[in-house]
A and B are shown apart, each in its own frame.
Chain A
Amino acid sequence: MAGEIELKGIRKTFGKVEAVKDLDLLVQEAEFLVLLGPSGCGKTTTLRCIAGLERVDRGKVFIGGRDVTELPPAKRGIAMVFQSYAVFPHMTVEKNIGFGLRMRHLPKEEIKKAVREVAELLQIDELLDRYPSQLSGGQRQRVAVARALVMRPEVLLMDEPLSNLDALLRLQMRAELKRLHREIGTTTVYVTHDQIEALSLGDRIAVMREGEIVQLDTPNEVYDKPANVFVGGFIGTPPMNFLKAKVLADDKDVFLAIGDFRLEVPDVWKAHLREMTDKTVILGIRAENIEVHPETNGGRLPANVIVAEPLGSQQLLTVQVGDDVLKVATKPDLSVQPGQAIGLALVKDKIRIFDVQTGAAITFP
């Protein structure tokens, strides 16, 4: 219970902009939950509502079963890591890390000990006497994390903590954050717009859009079974491919028609799909779930190569199918030329279909 966070119908508006719309969320104790979404989706506002830096217009915030809606940040049992790190420039690293403990009026010796411990954990114990201006970006980031962890908060909040680091450092820090979470096990809410970060760090990911959570699931589920077109398009590099398809049925079989091509569907869908006969749907498939064959015989979806990009571990093709453009991932050594006609095979179990109007995934029990 201690580190559980529950948001009940919280709403936050800025002027006429609804940043968060009646949002419900339950974060389990010791869970690492990622709030993921494009900028302006309300993820940071949600985090700030948990922190108490924003006052919700409506709804309730519970931390550890306690109603903290009316409490200031200081009394919520949280600690936060800011995107800018917000390391106090007029204090040494030691003073920075010990700041929160001093606010709690702990004995000096105890503070010193706790600061040293957490500094060792983050490998910045050599830097304790320095001022932030003497630190690199990565070191400052560690100070910010240390400063939050030393509080032993019930809940750790992180607002895009890695976005100001360069790519290599970000990779390294990502792994470190994962290690820290495993060791300490503090409930963590982590805001990012970087879907790779979200996939690698999160126990669960809450994908947000326009102030609402559109999908809340484990990274694998979010990746493989996006709840709608938005999630599929937002997560994954390259994003999920979408093409229009029509549900066709005859006496024996049900299938999806892409132009003249007939695509087989999983058997369990068939009964349900039959009810949607003649409807148009959006078919979604990830680049790595498309197989490429140099010949274009009958059983394959005919396509034309537009561009072939070698990316080292794989090769990314941009191909044209009818009016749609798809991205296809292949082995790096497959030799294709722009303009070449190829045949595509879509992995049957990995196909998702979505409603044309709402973009929501159509699923069958």
Chain B
Amino acid sequence: MNERLRKLLGTDTLLPYWLLLPTLIFIGVFFLMPLFKAVGLAFYGKDGFTLAYFEKMISDVRFFDALKFTFLFAITIVPLQVVTALAMALLLNSGFRGSRFFLYIFALPLGIADLAAGLIWLSIFTHRGFLNSILYALGIIDRPIHYLSYQNINYTFLSVVAAEHWRATAIVMVILVAGLQMISKDYLEAAEVLGARGWKKIWYVILPLLKPSLQSALIIRTIFALQTFAVVLALAGQITPVLAGEAYFWQFLYRNPHVASAYAVLLMVISIAMTWVYLRYLRSRTEVIRE
């Protein structure tokens, strides 16, 4: 038999591809096809290529609000989460007794849906909710504040931030804890031998080594923050519209897949752009530092 042919037919050569095939087909049908279809829906109407759907999207009264709030949410929530998660990760990494237990506690919100998180925090921020009850009990207020209303749009915004911050910090925390575990103890010991302790050690040794983890946490969180939808809907209804929510309404209420697709494509473009920005400006010099 021909050598090349034999090599090709060898089970070990083709087997992996057979194993990948179902996944590849799935990706083709459920990622690539929708991607093209979405672009098609967004740009093609009955009469061929058109920008009408994008014009419709942009001329919608809520569009700029949605764009604004989507970005405001992302740039408020993501840094908050990274700082909180970093604090959690560093605390857990200090190796106190019971740190494993607290790790699981901190990770609990991982399993909580955005919609459920919205409803949880609704029980706190609704005008006869826990927050008002506590403030009243403490004698700070004597009538409930309407946090979730058009009159208090800043409160509404902060309520959503609080809920999302609470829900999705766990993901960042787990990524960072994993990143910390991959940092070789040698580096930390070397740093201590050289006199770096406490904050100095964190700032000059741990954080630079943690950069790859921070980078992926930032990318993942930003992309998902841009898609914030159910938390907003559960807490704020349409007081603070967001892009994913608008896509939902155009599809679900107005039955217009073209404009909904325009929103979806816009989200995709923003996600790609943000990822590119992170990769471009956060490129880590310490490429791979593992034990």
Contacts and interface: CB of A to CB of B under 8 A. Distances in A.
Do A and B assemble together?
A: yes
A274 interface: no
A55 B15 CA distance: 13
A57 B12 contact: no
A54 B10 CA distance: 10
B7 interface: yes
Interface in A46-88: 54-55, 57-58
Contacts of B7: 55, 57
B10 A55 contact: yes
A55 B12 CA distance: 8
B198 to A, nearest CB: 39
A55 B9 CA distance: 11
Interface string A29-61: 000000000000000000000000011011000
Interface of A: 54-55, 57-58
10 contacts: A54-B12, A55-B7, A55-B10, A55-B11, A55-B12, A57-B3, A57-B6, A57-B7, A58-B3, A58-B6
Interface SS of A by simple majority: loop
Nearest to B11: A55
Contacts of A55: 7, 10-12
Contacts of A58: 3, 6
Given A55-B7, A55-B11, A57-B7, 7 more contacts: A54-B12, A55-B10, A55-B12, A57-B3, A57-B6, A58-B3, A58-B6
Contacts of A54: 12
Interface residues of B, number: 6
Give me the 7 closest cross-chain CB pairs, A-B, nearest first.
A55-B10, A58-B3, A57-B7, A57-B3, A55-B12, A57-B6, A55-B11
A221 B7 CA distance: 38
Contacts of B3: 57-58
Nearest to A59: B3
Nearest to B13: A55
B47 to A, nearest CB: 53
A241 to B, nearest CB: 38
A308 B6 CA distance: 58
Contacts of A57: 3, 6-7
Contacts of B12: 54-55
B9 to A, nearest CB: 9
A106 B167 CA distance: 58
A8 to B, nearest CB: 15
Interface in B1-34: 3, 6-7, 10-12
A57 B7 CA distance: 6
A54 B3 CA distance: 15
A265 B7 CA distance: 52
A58 B3 CA distance: 6
Contacts of B11: 55
Nearest to B7: A57
Contacts of B10: 55
Nearest to A11: B3
A55 B3 CA distance: 12
Nearest to B9: A55
B191 to A, nearest CB: 32
A360 B139 CA distance: 97
A247 to B, nearest CB: 45
A252 to B, nearest CB: 58
A167 to B, nearest CB: 25
B182 to A, nearest CB: 23
Nearest to A54: B12
A154 B68 CA distance: 75
A55 B10 CA distance: 7
A58 B6 CA distance: 9
A184 B7 CA distance: 37
A16 to B, nearest CB: 13
Nearest to B10: A55
A57 B3 CA distance: 6
A243 B143 CA distance: 99
Contacts of B6: 57-58
Nearest to B12: A55
B216 to A, nearest CB: 29
A99 to B, nearest CB: 22
Nearest to A12: B7
